[in-house]
Structure 1
Amino acid sequence: MRVTGAVVVIAVLDGGSGAELARRFTAAGAARLLIADLRPGVAEDLATELDRPDCHVVGVSGDIHRPSDIAALVSTAVKHLGPIDLFAVAGPDGERIVQLADLPDHLDPLADLLALLGEAIGEVVPQQRRSPEPAAVA
């Protein structure tokens, strides 16, 4: 995964922390970073801490469980930082990084991103907090 010069979005889920992940991306040479956290002020404070001339960092509040918030994050990132290279999800059980270059060109990029983020959320949210599977009908 190429990080140097990349535009990265980090979405933090309830119980997760994006601080260490954001620090790793900035240390690895990311050019621009957008951090979104459910908790008001957390991403903004982290962005202020990490922002520097060679890596512009923006912090916003957002909930990637809602497709409208994902669309807003993507729009904000592209408008202020340029095309997104990596989209990371930080949850209570770890992190998952999605490379947007892996999305098929011929499909709706937002729909593909929503599907990949749904998988990512499932991987980084503890099993006991996930929605139960519907019972099979006999």
Structure 2
Amino acid sequence: MAAIKPPFTFETATQKVKAAQDLWNSQEPTKIAKAYTPDCIWRNRTDFLRGTDAIVAFLTAKWNREKSYRLRKELFAFTDNRIAVQFWYEYRDGSDGDRWKRCYGLEDWTFDAEGKMCKRMMSGNDLVLGEGERWFVEGVDVDLVSIGESHW
């Protein structure tokens, strides 16, 4: 992600969002943390973090609990060095009997001049999924799933 630097255009902001999507779907915390500044600040729901060591620890714990994780991110808005993202991800919740859940949310990202994220603020809400309600089933390209009002 670091190669895409501000100031953003619609094209580069979209590229940055999809690069982040691909990176997070790798579920490799150490690799993901390289996209952030060493002192990056995060809010993830009710967790507040600072720095890449905390990011790695957080993501490691996240994916120990959130199994079969699949994520989609979409550009919501952007300015010169900020991007807002809408996202959806599905996972089996290992802390809740392996029930399938979907998280809906928004993120607010701020970048330094080199294109590394120095601030990430995330708000998300989980929904327990019933039989047949999953969008991101195995083998489906998350970017091709139709997400619209019919899914609310």
Q: TM-score range by the shorter chain?
A: under 0.3
Between Structure 1 and Structure 2, the one with more helix by share is 1
Q: TM-score, normalised by structure 2?
A: 0.22
Between Structure 1 and Structure 2, the one with more strand by share is 2
